[in-house]
Amino acid sequence: MSEDPLKAKSVSFKTLIFLLNALQDPIPRPVFDYVLRVVQPERLFDILRERQYMRSIIRLGHQTNYSELDETMSQVFKKLSSFGMDESHEDKILAMKDYVLKLHRNRAGSVETKLEVGDSPGRFCIVGPGKSITRRHAELIKQKDSKQQGMDLTTSSRSSKKAQLKEQSVNMNSEWKSMFGSNESDSSTASMSSKAKTLQKTAESLEKKLNTSQIFSQTSSSSSSGSFVTMSQSQVSSEGSIRSLTDKGSDKNPITKYNNCKIALRNIVHRKREHYSAESKDLLEIAWERRPPPTNWKPKGLLMAQLQEHRAAINRIQVSHDHAFFASASNDGTVKLWETEKLEGNSVANRSKQTLKNTSLPGEKVKGLVFCEAPGPSLSLASFTDLGAIHIYKIETGKASWNRDLSVDKPDYGNIVDMSFFDTGVQSVLSYATVNGFLVGHDLRTNKEVWKLRNDPKAGLITSFAVHHSQCWLAVGTSSGTHVCWDMRFQLPINSIAHPTGARVRRLIMHPQEQSWLISATQGNNEVSIWDVETGARQKVLWASPTPTLSLNQASHHSVYGLHMAVTDTNVFMLTGGSDMRARFWDLSHPANSFILAGAASDPVQQTGVNYRAKLVDGVEVIQELYTKKQVTSDDAPRRGPEPPPQGHRDIISDINLCQSSQCMVITGSRDGVIKVWK
């Protein structure tokens, strides 16, 4: 292998990260794309070769005098220079001459790259003159009838719409179109029969006056094939009046008869559409919260319960979709299942309902979990460990039992960093992301891997992962601050958004209302950013740090570890918890209503006042936490007797979630293994 593209002469080619760091700077993408679009690429490479020769013969320290260029090539080099091309890039482009010319020929559709019919034996072109392929399918999602919306439109707009509809349905079978593809098919059978009777009576009166033979003819063959029953063309051609009648009547409202099988097919399509609409609605309800918080709900910050069964750090807290249970994963190797109704003060001792632990792999740490719920009564719980194992438990009658285990090739894939579940109706997909860039979907019904994606290693190590509730796209966050979004329909990356400071992405969640918004918590400044995947712009930022807002070179060491977002009828709010051991309530609709839900145990009794305000910084709305001196009141005066113990956490809040039984409760878990429930 040539050492020219490497910065260092010796490098380990077995490790991809080392190899990428040893490579020289690549050609800027705009420069490479413009070179491919040059009209005369051979002329461009001749000039590049001449310029390279001039640089090779010039003495060190002297300026190279290049020959003058014609007007066309002068414009080309000015454009390339504006894109950032320098002399080192010229040498790299010249080294890629054969590859660039090949791409240029493919893009330009050169005759050399096309095979004519009969060029080689055994090959023939299937694209040629002949009948176009008839479309025979019915869409499950049918657009609503827009007749009522078009009542106020002008005649010209109506005619243009009709022309567009006619042009779009050229390749559609006429019978199929009349059944499924046109608005006329949606009219009722009664209206069609009344128009048919009117047309028939008019034709019979003309028949008596002209003493013609029978005008309307119908054969058994036409009835069985579902063809149009219209006037006989041989009889109509003799009379102009009848021809005009049939032209006006049959073109607009043809009398159509279908065989029983076609009517049954139409009914099946309508039933499938209704079933698909109902099933899609159920899937979206399952994917998001079935029990949203009440209108204008706010937590009061009162401690309801403190759970101390775990013996190590809490890594993840998940709530079931019906809010009957919540589960916690810990570094002590256990998953504990809790009942929400037992935490409302009716129970004397707050104990977990069940403890799940895998004894086959001692010493493993459970890093995350997710509830797996499909339409129906079935409910499962999946957890993953630092040893590359996935444990799946089935929950029946309120009790969980081991179901199966999945293993991940840790040397190749790396550790699992996050996990998600979604049900497509056909597949129950347990998806997970690994630190080495693999995104895997596993069908729990067939127990097979259904898809596997590979994130670009240049984007960094994957640190977080989330799937949109519409199941159309997912996103990953990396250690270099990059958010990569994938289209699940085509299984391709569609966009990449980089944090301005390159801060590590610690947590990702999806926005419950906006279809293209992504929420990420990054390293430092307790920062939470809301991104628009379509435009790549940052919409909102939550900033709980004394450093200047959106600072690129100043950062506090506190970060957000736990995120949860919920929607009520009137507003949207977010719950956060992090390394400063404080849980915060952010009101995104009314930022001034935000507050610290639970302070840290180490916070002084006489705290400073905290308020929140929204402002625009570089076109981005920033909700900032501000600290002011709190006025001393009579309630804050020193009292006799011992002070009550602090209710806040004594270690980093690693996760936060929301559940609802008879009332809404906020659940926080910390690194010392303590779970606190707030109302």
- DSSP string covering 161-208: HHHHHHHHTTTB-HHHIIIIISGGGGS-HHHHHHHHHHHHHHHHHHHH
| CA 471/CA 570 separation, integer angstroms | 26
Q: Cα 604 to the chain's mean position, in Å? A: 43
Average pLDDT rounded to a whole number, residues 261-266: 86
> Strand 572-578 to strand 560-567: parallel, antiparallel, or no bridges (unpaired)?
antiparallel
The number of residues making up the chain comes to 679
| CA 79/CA 634 separation, integer angstroms | 72
Q: Is the dihedral of CA 342, 344, 349, 350 positive or negative?
A: positive
CB 332 within 8 A of CB 356: no
| CA 52/CA 58 separation, integer angstroms | 10
For Cα atoms 643, 580, 304, give the angle at the middle one, nearest 5 degrees: 50
pLDDT of amino acid 562 = 96
Confidence of residue 215 (pLDDT cuts 50, 70, 90): very low
**CB neighbours (10 Å) of residue 498?**
15
| Burial (CB count within 10 angstroms: exposed 0-12, middle 13-18, buried 19+), residue 75 | exposed
Lowest mean pLDDT among 24-28, 541-545, 590-594: 24-28
| CA 619/CA 539 separation, integer angstroms | 9
N-terminal to C-terminal alpha carbon distance within the chain:
64
Phi/psi region, residue 436 (left: phi>0; alpha: psi -120 to 50; beta: rest), is: alpha
> In this model, does residue 136 exceed pLDDT 90?
no
| CA 353/CA 326 separation, integer angstroms | 10
> In this model, does residue 445 exceed pLDDT 60?
yes
> Strand 620-628 to strand 609-617: parallel, antiparallel, or no bridges (unpaired)?
antiparallel
Q: Looking at this protein, which amino acid is placed at residue 339?
A: E
Average pLDDT rounded to a whole number, residues 637-663: 83
| CA 245/CA 216 separation, integer angstroms | 13
Confidence of residue 359 (pLDDT cuts 50, 70, 90): confident
Q: Cα 665 to the chain's mean position, in Å? A: 29
Confidence of residue 158 (pLDDT cuts 50, 70, 90): very low
Residue from 155, 214, 35, 193 nearest 107 by CA? 35
What is the average pLDDT score of the chain?
A: 78
| CA 110/CA 139 separation, integer angstroms | 38
Helices (H), 405-551: 410-413
Two tokens at 460? 């960094």
As a whole number of angstroms, the longest Cα–Cα distance in the chain is: 118
pLDDT of amino acid 644 = 75
Two tokens at 289? 């919260």
For domain 303-632+647-678, the question of CATH label 2.130.10.10 is answered with yes
pLDDT in tens, 403-412: 889 988 888 8
Average pLDDT rounded to a whole number, residues 245-274: 72
Confidence of residue 285 (pLDDT cuts 50, 70, 90): low
> In this model, does residue 314 exceed pLDDT 80?
yes
Two tokens at 562? 């736990």
Instruction: Give the torsion through C-alpha atoms of 131, 137, 139, 145, to 10 deg.
Output: 60
Phi/psi region, residue 483 (left: phi>0; alpha: psi -120 to 50; beta: rest), is: beta
CB 658 within 8 A of CB 665: yes
Lowest mean pLDDT among 26-35, 332-341, 383-392, 585-594: 26-35
Two tokens at 579? 């390394």
pLDDT of amino acid 166 = 44
Q: Which residue has the tokens 């403190």?
A: 306
Q: Give the global pTM.
A: 0.62
With helix as H, strand as E and coil as C, how does 343-401 read?
HCCCCCCCCCCEEEECCCCCCCCEEEEEEEECCCCCEEEEEEECCCEEEEEEEECCEEE
| CA 161/CA 149 separation, integer angstroms | 13
Portions of the chain given CATH number 2.130.10.10? 303-632+647-678
DSSP character at residue 231: B
Confidence of residue 470 (pLDDT cuts 50, 70, 90): confident
DSSP character at residue 362: T
| Burial (CB count within 10 angstroms: exposed 0-12, middle 13-18, buried 19+), residue 142 | middle
